[in-house]
Amino acid sequence: WAADKVRGLATRDVVSIPDRPKLTQTVEGYHAMKSHVQVRFGRWREIIDEPMVVEPELYVLTTAMQHYAKGVAHAALRAFAAAEHERERFHQHLSRIPAERRFLSNPTHASLAVGAALLDGELAYHQGRHDEAYVHLRQAVGLDDNLSYTEPWAWMHPPRHALAALLLDQGHAEEAEQVYRDDLGLSGAVQRCAQHPD
C-alpha cells in the first residue's frame, strides 16, 4: 500500500522537472521502491504480472529494479529461461545508465551492483548451484556494507537476510544464525549503519 502511494506521488511531472537532477533522481529512486517491497515479501506473481514502466530513459532506477525483481521472481518459480532473460535485460539497461546517476548519496551503479549479485545468487541457488549462490550472496553483502549510509537505505532488502535464509534452507543452521546475528548487530561484526535491528 505505502509503496503504491509513493509511486502515485512520484509522478512523471515531478520525475521530469528540468535542471533539477538531484530532486528528480531522488524522487525516481522512491518510485523504484515498490520492487524492493515485492521481492521482500515474495510477491512473485505480482512482480511478473506488473507491466514495465514505459519510459526507461526517465525511470532509470525503476526499470532496473523491475528487471531485477522479475529475474528473482522467475528464479524462485523455477522459470529459469525467463529469469536469465530478465537478468540479461537488467544488465543491458544497467549499461545505459550514466555513471554520474545517483540515488541519494550513492551512485546508482553501486546500489544496483548489490542487486546484480543478489540476482546471480538467487538464480544459482534455485538452479541447485548452492555453493556458487553463496559466493554471489556474500558478494552482495560486501557491496551493500560498502554503500554510503542513507535513509532510506540505498538497497532496501538486506542481502544478509537472503544469504541466511538460503543457508538455513540447506541445513547450515550455525552459519545462518551467525549471519542473522551480524545483521541484527548482536555480534559486533557489522558497523552500526549496516545493522538492521528492527
pLDDT in tens, 105-144: 999 999 999 999 999 999 999 999 999 999 999 999 999 9
Contact partners, residue 157, CB within 8 Å, separation at least 6:
36, 39, 40, 118
Separation CA 72–CA 115 (nearest Å)? 10
* Per-residue model confidence (pLDDT) at position 195: 55
pLDDT in tens, 59-115: 999 999 999 999 999 999 999 999 999 999 999 999 999 999 998 899 999 999 999
CB 144 within 8 A of CB 114: yes
Q: What is the pLDDT of the chain when averaged over all its residues?
A: 93
Residue 56 is classified by DSSP as: T
Which pTM was predicted? 0.92
State the pLDDT confidence band at 13, using cuts at 50, 70 and 90.
confident
Separation CA 196–CA 183 (nearest Å)? 6
CB 47 within 8 A of CB 70: yes
Separation CA 154–CA 177 (nearest Å)? 25
CB 121 within 8 A of CB 134: yes
* Per-residue model confidence (pLDDT) at position 122: 98
